[in-house]
Amino acid sequence: MSSVKIPKIGFISLGCPKAGSDTEKIMTRVKTQGYEISSSYDKSDVVVVNTCGFIDSAIEESLNNIDEALKNNGNVIVTGCLGEKRNIIEKRFKNLIAITGSEADKEVVDIINKVTPKPHDSFIDLIPKSGLRLTPSHYAYIKISEGCNHKCSFCIIPSMRGKLVSRTPEDILSEAQNLVDSGVTELIIISQDTSAYGVDFKVKQSFWDGKPVKRDLYHLAKELKKFGIWVRFHYIYPYPHIDHMIELMDEETILPYLDVPFQHASPKILKSMKRPADAEDNLKRIRAWRQINPNIALRSTFIVGYPGETDHDFEQLIEFIKEANLDHVGCFEYSNVEGATAKLISDQIPDNVKKERYNHLMETQKIISEQKLKSLIGSIEHVVVDEVNDDFALARSFRSAPDVDGVIYLKDPEGLIAGDRLDVKITGNDAYNLFAGPLDD
């Protein structure tokens, strides 16, 4: 064997799964060139920090992680969304190797090559076709497009990531095939606007496995369904054409689960936000989806304290929450983001009011969540195990996505490993999670 010292690259990945997907691309390129991946500062020749710059708290978290990497290693490359606002980074740090923006995997690897030249070792292991991943071996994220065509007033994603650019179906399906071949049993489809997939294509047809495939979300979903594993869709806008996707859903392939970022319910606020739908349309859409598939699980996120939000606007949001009866809800207090047009609105909401509204919304949803989960007691659920510890195994049914939704605690976990599938009997619940045991429990 060669005695060549192989350089090691460390990674810190912050933000959403879309950023995580970008980190996986860089890691795969790095490993393909023969570098080793390190999980510690002291053993890394270079540390790559993939940042988030969406809201103030995310920016501060990114800056703190950059600072920690510099103090504990010193050789730091910054990439990702916050890299698009390099003046914020440069104002605080003067000794970084480089700063790049998002979707810059090739640029980052080129910089790594210059700082610590890639090894030339004929004994380097081959990279699996599925690439390197940050997720457990049984599920994986696939990003099907980059960028967004919307101009929401609170968001700066289009300015950071540009307009929508969709990957071709054959590219996506090839990645999916490699992941399935590697043992993945759940694919989570992500992008900035998944429901807009394919609208940018001038040529409307691709070929996969020798057959034509239309370049739109519905036909992509039909092809993904053929893999016979769980497929879950995130970041779906409530457009009418999503109704057809609901028709494809079952509990074994295209899961009856959608992540839909409604953001608010007041027509006035939605108009100010420049969102593409209003509350009544959204409620009609939810009702239509439940008529097609009564078991569909819905998650959403909302913003409270948006500039100009009155008590009446907030009450409209609370009434929407009650009527929509969503399975999972996340909430954010509005944060001014540099470059977002909402920052220019004069009627800013005091922080204490934002906090009160956040607490009220989450308390409202807590009651809804607890009631929905309680209704499942006694039912049989098919679950996948994500994690096993001494007292419980953490599992999920089709109703929950990893990291963002509640879990099912399985007692007597002996013999279980991550990725196992089994049927369990629901025995109890708390506000956001379920408890389960064997079928004969």
Q: Token digits for 333?
A: 């207090």
> What letter does residue 263 receive in the DSSP assignment?
B
**Is the separation of the CB atoms in 239 and 195 below 8 Å?**
yes
Residues 277 and 397 in one domain: no
For residue 398, the enclosing domain spans 380-437
DSSP calls for 83-120:
GGGHHHHHHH-S--SEE--SS-HHHHHHHHHHHSPPP-
Residues 99 and 229 in one domain: no
Residues 104 and 213 in one domain: no
**Predicted pLDDT at 3:** 54
Q: What is the pLDDT of residues 296-324, one digit of tens each?
A: 999 999 999 999 999 999 999 999 999 99
Residues 70 and 89 in one domain: yes
Q: How far is CA 256 from CA 90, 279, 285, in A?
A: 45, 22, 15
Q: Residue 111: give its domain's CATH number.
A: 3.40.50.12160
257, part of any domain: yes
Domain boundary among 333, 350, 374: 374
Indicate the average pLDDT of the chain. 89
Residues 340 and 392 in one domain: no
Of residues 204 and 259, more confidently modeled: 259
CA distance 353 to 350: 5
Mean pLDDT computed over 137-164:
82
Rounded to a whole number of angstroms, the CA Rg of the chain reads: 23
Residues 335 and 276 in one domain: yes
CA distance 228 to 31: 30
> What letter does residue 15 receive in the DSSP assignment?
S
Residue type, 232: R
Q: Residue 230: give its domain's CATH number.
A: 3.80.30.20
28, part of any domain: yes
**Predicted pLDDT at 129:** 59
Residues 205 and 342 in one domain: yes
CA distance 14 to 197: 25
Residue showing tokens 């980074």: 89
**Is the separation of the CB atoms in 54 and 157 below 8 Å?**
yes
Residues 83 and 159 in one domain: no
Residues 163 and 275 in one domain: yes
Mean pLDDT computed over 238-245:
88
126, part of any domain: no
Residues 292 and 175 in one domain: yes
**Predicted pLDDT at 414:** 86
**Predicted pLDDT at 426:** 96
**Is the separation of the CB atoms in 88 and 118 below 8 Å?**
no
Number of domains in the chain: 3
Residues 422 and 359 in one domain: no
124, part of any domain: no
- CB contact set of 57 (below 8 Å; sequence gap of 6+): 335
* Residue 220: other Cβ atoms inside 10 A: 28
Q: What is the pLDDT of residues 33-91, one digit of tens each?
A: 888 888 889 899 999 999 988 778 888 999 999 999 999 999 999 999 888 888 889 98
Residues 144 and 78 in one domain: no
